[in-house]
Structure 1
Amino acid sequence: MPNITEPAAMPARLHIPRQREQDPSADPVLREHIDAMIDLHPGGLTWRRTYPGALDQVPHARHFTRYLLADSDHRHDAELIAGELAANAVRHTASGRSKGTFIVELTRTTATTTIAVYDCGWGGIPRFGRLFGIDAEHGRGLAIVAALADQFGYDGDEEVGHRVWARMLQPGG
């Protein structure tokens, strides 16, 4: 059973505003056209890409996300989420070991955008509600993800790996 956490379950100490709001009138592609294309596929559109398990691949995962969501209001937040989840996969699981990999998956419907990162396992369980000291140099990644996402969670286990995901609702969705 997947572990799903709503942001309300998080400590109230952290508030991160949404990044750069876009003026919809400046968008050259009509939202109705994008939504119509997405609706042609039951369950929305899904893209996946596999990366070597190295930190120098995290910017490539961010770029992949930004490129696929270029017309989305959530593109900046999604890019940041993908980067945080990819970095965690490399740092805290077997994905960062020799011949390790991680997978970035984006699923887009007219109502939601979901970013997921699959790791190779043998690492810790993702802890979204972890508290950290104000002077801590590490440990804020999942707190940032939780602050930006409307829902988040993980599936899997240490042996087969985890799918750590974050979902953002489309405006009006």
Structure 2
Amino acid sequence: MSWRRVFPGRADQIPLARQFAMFLFAETSIAAEVGFVVTELATNSVRHTRSGQHGGRFTVELVLGGLAYVGVSDLGGGGYPTVRHDPLNGPVESEGGRGLRAVSQMAAMLGVHGSPIEGHTVWADLICIDKPYEDPPLATSVA
């Protein structure tokens, strides 16, 4: 199962993106993690790229499977998304930049593709062994 939804690039849309993701993963044990990842990636998109400018947008893409894919695409601008490796218990004034690190610690894989010019997709794969939907059979028996 896969879903994609475009949201206006405004801060008030981030909770809606989180609710959208958590609703789709509600019957799994990773709904809260998916919601956290969407919140962090969408927040970065709105704060640090052209997605947060007037008329901007960000896109959330979700795939439910053994590895759940969570991706957020932005309109580019700013720099290249990177994971900070400084201690999480650093000075309070350096609070920014820790969300992507937290996502990297809960994800099986984390990646970025694209560029500041054409836009980025930041994605995370989360392990989801309890997917609620049955895969269709590859073949059916003939009676």
Which TM-score applies when normalising by structure 2? 0.84
Which residue identity does 1:94 align to in structure 2? R
Matched, 1:160 2:115: no
**Residue 84 (structure 1) aligned with residue 31 (structure 2):** no
What do you get for the CA RMSD once the two structures are aligned? 1.6
Question: Helix, strand or coil for the counterpart of 1:115?
Answer: strand
Correspondences of 1:91-110 after superposition (within 5 Å): 91-109=47-65
> How far has the Cα of 1:131 moved from its partner?
2.1
Give the conservation status (yes or no) of the 8 Å contact 2:83–2:97.
no
Instruction: Give 2:15's match in structure 1, choosing from 59, 64, 67.
Output: 59
Q: Secondary structure of 1:62's partner? A: helix
Give the partner amino acid of 1:75. Answer: A
Measured in 2, the distance between the counterparts of 1:131 and 1:56 equals 30
Partner residue, 1:126: 81
Mapped pair 1:170 → 2:97: no
Q: Residues of 2 paired with 1:142 and 1:149: CA distance?
A: 10
What is the rounded CA distance, in whole Å, between the counterparts of 1:134 and 1:153 in structure 2? 27
Give the percent of matched residue pairs that are identical in Structure 1 and Structure 2. Answer: 39
* Structure 2 residues without counterparts, runs of 5 or longer: 131-143
1:147 aligns with 2:102: no
Aligned partners of 1:146, 1:58: CA distance in 2, in Å?
Answer: 20
Q: How many residues are paired up?
A: 128
TM-score normalised by L of structure 1: 0.70
Q: Which runs of 4+ in 1 moved over 6 A?
A: none
Distance 1:134 1:78 in 2: 28
1:11-30 equivalent positions in 2, closer than 5 A: none
Does 2:4 align with 1:48?
Answer: yes
